[in-house]
Structure 1
Amino acid sequence: MGLFDRFKRRKARDAAPPPAPVQPWPPPPVAPMPAYQNFEIPPEPDQPAWMKYPVSAPKGHIIVFANEKGGVGKSTSAFHTCIALCNAGERVAALDVDLRQLTLHRALWARQESEREYGVKLPGPEQIMLAQQNENELAEKLRMARIHNSFIVIDVGGHDSPIARKAIFMADTIVTPVNDSFIDLDMLGHIDPRTGDFKTLGNFARLVEHLKDPGIALRSTPLDWVVMQNRSRSLATNNERKVRDALDKIAPAAGFRIVPGLSERVTYRELFPLGLTLFDLDTLPDLGKAQPNAREEIWAMLRALNLPSAALKRAIAPPTDDGSDFA
């Protein structure tokens, strides 16, 4: 063998990778993964990149108030839910993703002004602010909020947007307030005006149906979609009965349940700009006196949401037979 051949063999030997180390047998045991471990599965080509598995976390129940129809009392219902949960002793965070209006946050800021004006301390939620309407920032804010709070209440603007879809996608409970109007039902489903039969789902119902598809989001608990009838009157009109019948026909196809909301009361409209609720009138008696049935209406709304907290269920239990009120 010539010198050149020996040089080539040595060069090839030096360039070869070192032999792989011998693996022990049997292999060492692998620690089990937590049930809530994030498994990042590539989304479908037509889905946003934030649609990953899973969306549920071990703590912090997310309640999203959403409806693409405006003027249905979303922010009012979200605000009263926040304050009622705080009065029940829960740790609550509030987030308004409609950066153009920020109705929920404005009510909470007004609540802080009322505290300073009247020199009192009122229960209230932690406020979470977004610097911009960014889905990734929303996901990170919610991830942190779920660690420190029992409930996170989100108010979504009355229009379709990527960040609204993200909030709905991450929700554990979706609350869709509606008024007693067939115009408000159009986003949920279409009813034949002549026969009264159900025809098709509306745009918002199709959106929720898509975002709660098990093939898109693996959840530790199923998504609960609630349609809340707001601004109802003590004596139902013929139109209100027709709207309720229409909701009963849409509900099975859309997958929501129907619960009572807040009725039409002047007190709600007067207190909301001050960031106050009926619960605060015990602390601020000069502003008026809350009727027991009005306060019970808010507790009944909260009970109807059937939120997963044994302590909350005890705190908001119905009043006793002796008619005593509770706060």
Structure 2
Amino acid sequence: MSETTGRVLQLLGLLQSRRVWTGDELAERLGVTGRSVRRDVDRLRDLGYPVHASKGHGGGYQLGAGAALPPLLLDPEEAVAMAVCLRVAAGGSVAGVGESALRALSKLDQVMPARLRSQVAAVHDATVTLTSGQGDTPVEPDVLMTLARASRDHEHVTAGYVDVRGNATQRRLEPYQLVTTGRRWYVLAFDRDKDDWRSLRLDRMADVKAVGSTFTPREAPDAADYVRRAVSTSSYPYVARIRYFASADVVAAAFPATAVQVQPDGPEQCIVTTGADDPAHMVPWLAMPGIDFEVLEPPEVAEAVTVVADRLRRAAQG
């Protein structure tokens, strides 16, 4: 790095650390003349950093907000604090924040020195996060970052995976996109051994490694739609189709987006597709919205509705 480049980066760090600097203060800190400070300020402006200059008492140089966010300089303590906060945010349930935090964390982790990375890991390991319920499934940040970078760089990945039935397998994957439902993370990937697309839960993955080789991207299905269908039906032995006598918007608002697929069936009707391990367990859940419905298929669910209805009728009669 040239002396001039190093000085410009040092100037940027100073401007980011305090609101206003006088020209004399900057010249003294950098060990140069006021003329050199002005030249370096012009170089920062050429790079897209909005450096404002004002005269008079209280004036000086100030780094302002621009149309786009330029690169930031972080000292070691700031980098560790930022990475720790991003790890927490990446596993959070605030809509939209988790994915953005993951992208930022992936960029920061890529350039962070090993000694700072170990500090971040130490803070993370010593921290316990209280979850909001049984549905929360924490994912190791290293798994998130490995898959995020591999998806971005089109890099092959190997991983161990335990499916819903407890079967452990080794997977060779082409990861395409991460999807979060708020409480769980999934990856849409092409399984090279099964020669097909798969939606995999990250909390069921272990020993995730990017192997170094890259792949040519295929034409991929819509990640959000694929995961939604997989979560709502694919892993269940009983998949039901239900006609509700209300609009699709009304019915969709009554269920979690990841639990059902809703298709309009006229202005005041819709078809809901969902799955369950036990038809009897499905019935009370289908009735929760308080909207009239009929079971189209399968017969096991229709029979379960009759059985549950009879049980409730007997209970009401005392």
TM range (shorter): under 0.3
TM-score (norm 1): 0.21
Which structure has more RCO (C-alpha within 8 Å, separation ≥ 6)? 1
Q: Which has the higher strand share?
A: 2
TM-score (norm 2): 0.21
